[in-house]
């Protein structure tokens, strides 16, 4: 299927889409032996030859990976401070994969990695409201009133923090286990929700993104997502 040349270049890993547009306008790209400077140009990866700076460009196989991120790992491919990163958990030949969204260093659970920029954009853009479910272990006994405030929304540091659903799994006088579902997932939102009501998060695990569940995937392990999972995940996000 023909796609725009700049999208083809971005998906092939040549450059970002914006940078690919600049390469085209600067006359650095040839299609079937001819220099192309029109941004609207479409190419078919199965039939057209694309060359950038004298080097042929091939379509890259798209990969979609589900990973159970362990606590203590950063959602990046490398770290100047030599801390543990999720890239350490993947095959070396997958160095072009990037994380879709984030989990903070002390959180664990389900995260996706891909080399498909369009996939990443759809899952992280606020207008799509992809639901994410977390299980939190927190200090103290969480009340029903607190959960009601979560779903009503709490103003904190200029942000409206809000859970779509909040369910108490268990509680005693020292700790509570709470399941929280978010739509937007602002920075450290689950932790900030609990902190706003005086509860410190001890453990935090993301167990579901859209219809995809963490399931039995062990900590630090990954699996390639199935076509059926991708279809269910992207349904309604066109």
Nearest Cα to Cα of residue 180 among 139, 150, 155: 150
Q: Is the CB of residue 176 less than 8 Å from the CB of residue 141?
A: yes
CA–CA distances in Å: residue 102 to residues 3, 38, 107, 118, 133: 29, 36, 10, 17, 14
To the query of whether residue 104 is one of the catalytic residues in this protein, the response is yes
Q: Are 114 and 62 in contact (CB under 8 A)?
A: yes
Contacting residues for 74 by C-beta, under 8 A, at least 6 apart = 83, 84, 85, 86, 105
If one counts every other C-beta atom within 10 angstroms of the C-beta of residue 54, the result is 7
CA quadruple 42, 100, 63, 230: dihedral, nearest 10: -90
Closest Cα partner for 193 from 175, 181, 211, 208?
181
Residue 113, both tokens? 């990695």
192-218 exposure pattern, b = at least 16 Cβ within 10 A, e = fewer? bbbbbbebebeebbbbbbbebebeeee
- Which residue out of 48, 88, 104, 159 is catalytically annotated? 104
Active centre residues (catalytic): 104
């Amino acid at each position: 299927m023909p796609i725009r040349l700049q999208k083809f270049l971005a998906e092939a890993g040549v450059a970002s889409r914006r940078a690919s547009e600049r390469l085209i306008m600067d006359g650095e790209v040839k299609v079937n032996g001819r220099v192309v400077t029109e941004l609207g140009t479409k190419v078919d990866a199965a039939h057209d030859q694309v060359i950038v700076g004298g080097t042929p460009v091939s379509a890259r196989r798209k990969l979609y990976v589900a990973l159970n991120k362990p606590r203590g790992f950063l959602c990046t491919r490398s770290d100047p401070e030599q801390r543990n990163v999720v890239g350490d958990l993947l095959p070396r030949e997958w160095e072009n994969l990037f994380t879709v969204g984030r989990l903070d260093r002390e959180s664990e659970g389900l995260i996706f990695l891909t080399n498909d920029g369009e996939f990443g954009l759809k899952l992280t853009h606020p207008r799509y409201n992809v639901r994410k479910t977390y299980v939190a272990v927190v200090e103290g006994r969480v009340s029903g009133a607190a959960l009601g405030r979560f779903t009503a929304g709490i103003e904190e540091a200029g942000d409206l923090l809000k859970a779509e659903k909040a369910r108490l799994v268990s509680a005693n006088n020292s700790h509570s286990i709470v399941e929280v579902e978010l739509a937007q997932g602002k920075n450290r939102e689950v932790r900030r929700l609990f902190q706003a009501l005086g509860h410190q998060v001890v453990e935090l695990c993301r167990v579901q993104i859209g219809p995809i569940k963490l399931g039995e995937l062990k900590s630090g392990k990954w699996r390639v997502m199935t076509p059926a999972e991708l279809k269910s995940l992207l349904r309604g996000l066109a």
